[in-house]
């Protein structure tokens, strides 16, 4: 009598290649692409600084810059256009690109208001850095995720940490003309990691040999961290820049800083 537990199973009637014939081919998503508000520039844009806003506090702050001009948007084909308002809104799932002038220098801001799948992050980073936009320096603003931090994050403390590319670290700290960004922010501790689009953007900066800084703030939202990000940007990145925030908007902006997006879940 056969032992169904110890006896070897009968050989398959199909070879592995035959089995693969029944599996549907993997679908390939179209590549992300840029759409410019004005006729496409004949040459890449070369701003002095390229800022990526990924976190709720940074999106809130940069949304209220009065002098920014919408120059384009990044389109991910898998992100639907339904529900997007005519005017830029913090509740839209969009990735708008703005230009501002600060002290006679062009700065480009990319507001990423939707979640980018892990397998798409490098394609997005390649589209935004080195192809159509070649910046002198890059600043990435994201939130610290508790799952990526080695140790316990205090719920009642507010702070920011940073990572830098090798080109950024080589800059002297005492040179006012060419010094590091966010000099007052400490470095990200060893053993902790950063993932997602922020990591892909910083990796792209390293590959392109660009001066790049990634700053992550904690907690993910709230009035205290919003004030911290705002202070750091006005002090070290955009000195002398004026904001235009209505009183009602400022109260909401300083109290919560929370966006109704799935990017932070």
**129-150 pLDDT per residue, tens:** 998 999 999 999 999 998 889 8
- Could you read off the pLDDT of 66-96 as tens digits, one per residue? 889 999 999 999 999 888 888 889 999 999 9
Instruction: Kindly state whether residue 23 falls inside one of the protein's structural domains.
Output: no
Kindly report the CATH number assigned to the domain that includes residue 204. 3.40.50.10900
- Whether 160 is in a domain gets the answer yes
Residue 255 lies in a domain: yes
Please check whether residue 109 lies inside any domain of the structure. yes
Average pLDDT over residues 178-199: 90
Around 206, how many Cα atoms within 13 Å sit in the side-chain half-sphere? 13
> What is the rounded CA–CA span in Å between residue 71 and residue 79?
20
Q: Which of 264, 238, 262, 265 is nearest to 62 (CA)?
A: 238
Tell me if 13 is assigned to some domain: no
State mean pLDDT over 91-116: 94
Closest to 74 measured CA to CA, from 255, 241, 197, 231? 197
- Tokens, residue 236: 């070290």
Model confidence at 257: pLDDT above 50: no
pLDDT at 164 over 90: yes
Q: Look at residue 184 and tell me if it is in a domain.
A: yes
Count the domains in the chain.
1
pLDDT-above-70 percentage for the chain: 79
Question: Binning pLDDT at 50, 70 and 90, where does residue 29 land?
Answer: confident
Q: What local confidence, expressed as pLDDT, does residue 243 receive? A: 64
Flag whether 31 is in a domain: no
Residue 8 lies in a domain: no
Q: Give the domain extent around 252.
A: 46-81+88-148+156-171+178-264
CA distance 85 to 94: 10
């Amino acid at each position: 009598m056969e032992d169904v537990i110890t006896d070897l199973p009968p050989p398959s009637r199909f070879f592995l290649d035959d089995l693969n014939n029944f599996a549907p081919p993997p679908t390939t998503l179209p590549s992300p692409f840029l759409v410019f508000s004005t006729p496409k520039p004949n040459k890449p844009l070369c701003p002095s600084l390229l800022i990526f806003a990924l976190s709720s506090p940074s999106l809130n702050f940069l949304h209220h810059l009065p002098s920014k001009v919408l120059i384009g948007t990044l389109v991910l084909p898998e992100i639907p256009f339904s529900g997007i308002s005519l005017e830029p809104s913090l509740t839209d799932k969009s990735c708008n690109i703005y230009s501002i002038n600060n002290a006679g220098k062009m700065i480009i801001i990319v507001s990423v208001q939707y979640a980018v799948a892990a397998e798409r992050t490098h394609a997005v980073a390649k589209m935004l850095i080195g192809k159509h936009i070649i910046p002198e320096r890059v600043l990435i603003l994201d939130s610290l995720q508790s799952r990526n931090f080695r140790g316990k994050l205090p719920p009642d403390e507010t702070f920011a940490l940073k990572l830098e590319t090798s080109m950024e670290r080589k800059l002297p700290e005492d040179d006012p003309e060419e010094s590091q960004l966010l000099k007052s922010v400490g470095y990200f501790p060893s053993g902790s990691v950063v993932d997602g689009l922020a990591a892909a953007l910083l990796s792209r900066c390293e590959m392109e040999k660009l001066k790049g800084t990634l700053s992550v703030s904690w907690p993910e939202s709230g009035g205290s961290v919003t004030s911290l990000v705002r202070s750091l940007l006005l002090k070290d990145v955009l000195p002398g820049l004026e904001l235009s925030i209505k009183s009602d908007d400022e109260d909401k902006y300083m109290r919560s800083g929370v966006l109704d997006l799935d990017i932070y879940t």
